[in-house]
Amino acid sequence: MKAFIFPGQASQFEGMGKDLYESSDEAKQLFKQANEILGFDISEVMFNGSAEALKATKVTQPAVFLHSIIKLKTTENAGKPEAVAGHSLGEFSALVAAGSLSFEDALQLVSVRALEMQKACEQQSSTMAAIVGLEDAVVEKACNEIDEIVVAANYNCPGQLVISGSEKGIDLAVAKLTDLGARRALKLQVGGAFHSPLMKPAEEGLQKAIEETSFKNALCPIYQNVDAQASTDAEQIKTKLVRQLTSPVKWTQTIQNMTNDGVSEFIEVGGTGKVLRGMIKRIGRDIQTSTM
């Protein structure tokens, strides 16, 4: 069984999408449409912007989404997936691939999500950190013992967990986890505490936008971040998309469940094509991975 998987933030790169634009009339039309929907020339930032310009949340999220979907739509013989999943933001790309959302509606929602998350980030100084070389339970226990908001945010693969919280909370956690023997405890260059309670202010705006958007039942199972379970029902999908803002990304559990359900090939669509494939290899499943 073949699954398409879609990356999220941190998979952007300078010049992303320029080759697609130059080689495909369909890609040109989709980029033009995206510029109109977003109200600014995102193609210019993607093709010619600096790495710093690409890191702005309002740019990064639609840029990564666009790269994945335009890659999918312009790849000859891409075929149809039998299952899909996306890492955080990548879940919106997965929903387009599964026929639950249109390209236009998904891009609108991604834009709302990015702007709402940016506003939430500005309300409190917050960040994230990657913890490598400790068991998940050790990291979770350490976070729970800190008298600040700091939580597990991304279960990327065994031995690699990203934590999220206030600046002070993350500093305390990094020091504590280093003392506990983490091979690496590194603060990330991100705009805020994604997938933590500090994203709560972003929920209302995203939920309103989701309720005003037409969703269809998915044509194939989508394994969503909040519970790593397969969904096809439109109402379930919508509820989980909102919850995703403040819930951890259960990527390890997602890949484990997908392989248990018969997925034997993962195709990473968009970004550098290496981020999710690398995680899957470290999850330890003997399965085929490739990129589109």
Catalytic residues: 88, 195
Q: Which residues lie below 8 Å from residue 8, measured CB to CB, with a gap of 6+?
A: 64, 86, 87, 88, 89, 90, 91
| Three-class SS state of 3 | strand
Give CA–CA dist 221/235, Å, rounded: 14
Nearest to 150 by CA among 136, 135, 163: 163
Q: Is 141 exposed, middle or buried (0-12, 13-18, 19+ CB in 10 A)?
A: exposed
Per-residue DSSP letter, 158: T
Using an 8 Å Cβ cutoff, are 6 and 269 in contact? yes
Nearest to 192 by CA among 55, 23, 34: 55
Phi, psi of 153 (to 5 degrees): -120, -40
Q: Please, what sign has the CA dihedral across residues 130, 134, 139, 140?
A: positive
Print burial letters for 57-73: b (CB count within 10 Å at least 16), e (below 16). bbbbbbbbbbbbbbbbb
Q: How many CB atoms lie within 10 A of CB 131?
A: 26
